[in-house]
Amino acid sequence: MHIITRSRLVGFWEKHPEAKTSLLLWYKLASAADWQNFVEVREVFSSADQVGNFTIFNIGGNKYRLITFVDYTYQKVFVRHVLTHGEYDKNNWKKDDWYE
């Protein structure tokens, strides 16, 4: 998969250094993947969820949420938001135009 907007990952781990290792692992696994559907995502990331148009990954033992849009046809993962669990719970990410 081609990961779009890696800079959002970097920006987040610069503010939250403890998230860097987990985000880099996610990046490595997702970049090497060739997902055709959500079932295949769950084979690698069993805690991933689909909410609206987004695929959401738990990062760092559920401390963080990585919100993505996955385009299986073109093999792209768009990083839309990287949030702490508290930020995620506020649901502001649902205002994203790509959500629905």
Domain 2-95 has CATH 3.40.1620: no
* Positive or negative: CA dihedral 95, 31, 11, 82: positive
In this structure, how many other beta carbons lie within 10 angstroms of the beta carbon of residue 95? 7
Please determine, for residue 100, whether its predicted confidence score (pLDDT) is greater than 90.
Answer: no
Share of the chain above pLDDT 90, in %: 91
- The Cα–Cα gap between 43 and 80 comes to 22
pLDDT of 10 reads 97
74-83 per-position pLDDT tens digit: 999 999 999 9
- The Cα–Cα gap between 63 and 66 comes to 10
Mean pLDDT to the nearest integer, 67-91: 97
Please determine, for residue 63, whether its predicted confidence score (pLDDT) is greater than 90.
Answer: yes
In this structure, how many other beta carbons lie within 10 angstroms of the beta carbon of residue 36? 11
- The Cα–Cα gap between 13 and 35 comes to 25
2-12 per-position pLDDT tens digit: 999 899 999 99
